[in-house]
Structure 1
């Protein structure tokens, strides 16, 4: 199920897990995760895309 960026932010607030801790636990830059959640645009490529997929704000597209 795809979530909105607002839903993901709310999930972090409700869970008590910080965005920075989640980022470090998943081997992502906390700064980049914060930028994705602040920007309100779903990333299209690279590390930002991988973060968006992991946060479930974007579906993983199979590369043929």
Structure 2
């Protein structure tokens, strides 16, 4: 995992803008900027996916709990 400053530095060195990266990965540029500015690591939704893709979080495959049947699903 990397920190937000390291991610920004990698963008600077690569010459790729954050907005371009967001569009190439089908994310909203505004949401990517929000994730990078936030003091907290996202825990769900698109923000979570962005954090994983950027390397801010590890991707963990946890079975999803089905509340209708009270069983885990894969």
TM-score, structure 2 normalization: 0.81
TM-score, structure 1 normalization: 0.93
Q: Which runs of 5+ in 1 are unaligned?
A: none
Runs of 4+ in 1 over 2 A off after TM superposition: none
Please state which structure has a larger fraction of its residues in strand. Answer: 2
How many pairs were matched up?
A: 63
| SS of residue in 1 equivalent to 2:53 | helix
Q: Which has the bigger relative contact order, CA under 8 A and spacing at least 6? A: 1
Higher Rg: 2
